[in-house]
Amino acid sequence: MSLALTLASRNLFYDRLRFIATLVGIVFSVILVMIQMGLFLGFGHMVSTMIDHASTDLWVVPRGAKCFEDSPLLDLKMRDRIAAVSGVTATIPLVIGFSDWRLESGEVTPVFIVGTDLRDGALQPWNVVGGNVQALSERGAVAVDRSYFDRLGVTGVGSTAEIRGHHVRVVAITDGIRSFATTPYVFVDLKSARSYTGTLNDRASNLLVRLNPAADREKVLQAVRAQAGDAEVLTPDEFRSRSRSFWLFGTGAGAALFAGALLGVIVGTVIVAQTLYSSTKDHLSEFATLRAMGSSNRYIYNVIIYQALLNAVIGFAIAAGLGAVVVQITAKSALPIVITPWLMAALAVLTVVMCVASAIGAIVRVVRIDPATVFMR
Amino acid sequence: MKDPVIEAKAITKTLGRGAGEVQALRGIDLSLRRGELTLLMGPSGSGKTTLLLILGCMLAPSSGEVMVCGAPTSQADKEGLAKIRRDHIGFVFQSYHLFPTLTAVQNVQLALDIRSERRRKARERSRQALKMVGLEQKTNALPLELSGGEQQRVAIARAIVANPSVVLADEPTAALDGSNGKTIMRILATIAHEQQSAVLVVTHDPRVLPFADRIIQIEDGRLVDERSGERERVRMPRSAAFGAD
């Protein structure tokens, strides 16, 4: 290990107050970026959660549908044509839409109905923690997420309410199926969904298409598209991407999150740059001594860069620890912050880049140093 | 006579501009040779420090040429001058300029670290250098834990650890009492005579005269007198010479 690193660490720890101020700046910055990006990923997962959990291969959606919740109705007359395409094994109508949930207290709250033919298992509730999904085929049976118990006036399996005047009973409880729009999802069978949303039998919000695993997917996709008429046929990836684009960028939510993250980077860079510059200024006579001794500029840059990197490593380690706590805290919230290994890696790189970029001011200052000043003191 | 390590020819230096212009050096010719301890003496403002800076490749002369180990320095850029200093010159400063957060041995080692010497070997050489100046017991002390004389000895160890051709010392005894000043001068004299380095000491301090092989007087930017010194015999065994205050 070069003494440059030792010198850098001693310089850094010499003024503890400034070191703490630097760390606070870095941690604040990294946490801010982490939360913004974690929210971004959380949004991304949340807005595509239904698409992610559908077990089918293609989505037939109304032309121009922006996202899963964007639910103009399809005319199902193309269903038979699509079903007849070689390689298609099932076509499953999906009916979704807003409806009213009346609690036993008489209070009314909006809910989002998700209904499909349960025999096909195309889009069933997941993470079931209570009750039985098969019971959804019973008349008036619904599945709700436990995070919405208070909102829906539900205490568990067996709780009752009304949807559009129809008596309903909770038969299954899920955990973690939350809606981006905060309106609770209510899973029902297809027939009930039509009743609760007022959808006619020859209409559906989407048509889910299951393919033969052995079929040439691209070929079948083109054939299904040819039979879909005005409707669009999307792969899950395409629909997921479209939904995320709409919610995250079409609404400006993503831009706001990125702006927050950018702000974090700027604040962090400025704080680190300021403290690093100040530290360098305090140690100018030492750098001048090094220069007088014949040190190359590169050696001196290394000392400053090492200081920046030490700041980055220590600051990031603290921020990562706090980030893990934030993830735990928000895991059960309406909008969990999602931090993936890739996000952590990107944040680590960002922290290093931010700290090293912050060193530029200090380096520029040192470049101008005159070694002769050593003889003036 | 030995070849000069540093040779300055017709050096002039003008500082400032316009009404504030000062002719700091006016045609200096000077050679520093291995094995010699030279004193550069003169009143304040006579140009001592300016000459030291030019000889130490930290300040460019207005005219004239400085040769270090036979190579001209006038064409070198800042990095080139730094390399000349790194390769040939060791400095001892009046205010020591030790790194307060590094131990004595690390301060010395720094001079080898900037020369990219491997750490283990650099550490061993640094310990040896500290031993030469009588500080082998204080290798792990921080500068603040050392007396002024000890700090200056660490600074000397730092200056000589890379075996420079020339050691330039700026008022090395100015901040020290008589005993410590004498020790420092003994060490510098021994560096000149045993390591065969050229040693130039810029000083006001008449107490150092007995250690000089050569004494140069500077006044108003001109060398006005040069004579042999009245060096006392300091060629005692190293163990006895160093570290004894």
pTM: 0.76
The verdict on B113 touching A (C-beta cutoff 8 Å) is yes
Phi, psi at A226, each rounded to 5°: -65, -25
Q: Do B158 and A293 touch (CB under 8 A)?
A: yes
The verdict on B212 touching A (C-beta cutoff 8 Å) is no
Residues of B in contact with A372 (CB under 8 A): 53, 58-59
Please indicate, yes or no, whether residues A161 and A32 belong to a single structural domain of this protein: no
Integer Cα distance of A26 and A12 in angstroms: 14
Residue A327 covered by a domain? yes
pLDDT tens figures, A321-341: 998 898 888 877 777 888 899
Residues of B in contact with A293 (CB under 8 A): 85-86, 91, 110-111, 114, 158
pLDDT at A270: 85
Please indicate, yes or no, whether residues A9 and A93 belong to a single structural domain of this protein: no
Residues of B in contact with A19 (CB under 8 A): none
**A186 has a pLDDT exceeding 70:** yes
Residue A246 covered by a domain? no
Please indicate, yes or no, whether residues A91 and A189 belong to a single structural domain of this protein: yes
Please indicate, yes or no, whether residues A25 and A88 belong to a single structural domain of this protein: no
Q: Do B114 and A372 touch (CB under 8 A)?
A: no
The residues near A362 (Cβ < 8 Å, ≥ 6 apart) are A273, A276, A277, A279, A280, A304
CB A360 within 8 A of CB A304: no
Report how many domains make up chain A: 2
Residue A133 covered by a domain? yes
Q: Do A286 and B99 touch (CB under 8 A)?
A: yes
Q: Which of residues 277-296 of A touch B (CB under 8 A)?
A: 285-286, 289-296
Residue A241 covered by a domain? no
Strand, coil or helix: what is B167?
Answer: strand
Query: CA dist A349 to A18, A23, A84, B140, Å?
Result: 23, 17, 52, 37
The domain containing residue A268 runs over which residues? 2-46+253-376
Shortest Cα distance, chain A CAs vs residue B84, angstroms: 7
**In b/e form, how buried is each residue of A251-263, taking b as 16+ CB within 10 angstroms?**
eebbeebbebbee
Q: Which of residues 20-79 of A touch B (CB under 8 A)?
A: none
Please indicate, yes or no, whether residues A78 and A187 belong to a single structural domain of this protein: yes
Integer Cα distance of B49 and B40 in angstroms: 9
Residue of A nearest to B48 (CA): A375
Please indicate, yes or no, whether residues A225 and A351 belong to a single structural domain of this protein: no
pLDDT tens figures, B86-134: 999 999 988 889 999 999 999 999 999 999 999 899 999 999 999 989 9
pLDDT at A1: 65
Residues of A in contact with B99 (CB under 8 A): 7, 10, 286, 289
Range A222-247 average pLDDT: 91
Residues of A in contact with B109 (CB under 8 A): 3
Please name which of A202, A128, A194, A130 lies closest in space to residue A164, comparing C-alpha atoms: A194
The verdict on B73 touching A (C-beta cutoff 8 Å) is no
Residue A171 covered by a domain? yes
> Which residue, of A234, A263, A297, is where some domain finishes?
A234
Residues of B in contact with A291 (CB under 8 A): 82
Please indicate, yes or no, whether residues A37 and A63 belong to a single structural domain of this protein: no
Please indicate, yes or no, whether residues A211 and A279 belong to a single structural domain of this protein: no
pLDDT tens figures, A56-73: 999 999 998 888 887 788
Residue A243 covered by a domain? no
pLDDT tens figures, A139-180: 899 999 998 999 999 999 999 999 998 999 999 999 988 887
CB A260 within 8 A of CB A32: yes
The residues near A131 (Cβ < 8 Å, ≥ 6 apart) are A143, A157, A170, A171, A172, A173
CB A275 within 8 A of CB A208: no
Integer Cα distance of A237 and A52 in angstroms: 9
Residue A257 covered by a domain? yes
Residues of A in contact with B157 (CB under 8 A): none
Please indicate, yes or no, whether residues A225 and A270 belong to a single structural domain of this protein: no
Residue B1 — very low, low, confident or very high, per pLDDT cuts 50/70/90?
low
Integer Cα distance of A73 and B89 in angstroms: 87
Residue A153 covered by a domain? yes
Query: CA dist A148 to A106, A136, A328, B40, Å?
Result: 17, 18, 19, 89
Please indicate, yes or no, whether residues A81 and A226 belong to a single structural domain of this protein: yes
Please indicate, yes or no, whether residues A184 and A221 belong to a single structural domain of this protein: yes
The verdict on A249 touching B (C-beta cutoff 8 Å) is no
Please indicate, yes or no, whether residues A206 and A351 belong to a single structural domain of this protein: no
Strand ranges (DSSP E) for B63-160?
63-68, 71-72, 89-92
ipTM of the predicted assembly exceeds 0.90: no
> Which residue, of A204, A234, A264, is where some domain finishes?
A234
**In b/e form, how buried is each residue of A170-190, taking b as 16+ CB within 10 angstroms?**
bbbbbeebbbbeebbbbbbbb
Burial, A70: exposed, middle or buried (Cβ in 10 Å; 0-12, 13-18, 19+)?
A: middle
The verdict on B40 touching A (C-beta cutoff 8 Å) is no
Integer Cα distance of A316 and A308 in angstroms: 12
Residue A126 — very low, low, confident or very high, per pLDDT cuts 50/70/90?
very high
Strand-pair partners of A166: A163
**B236 has a pLDDT exceeding 80:** no
Integer Cα distance of A272 and A359 in angstroms: 8
pLDDT at A29: 85
> Which residue, of A234, A268, A303, is where some domain finishes?
A234
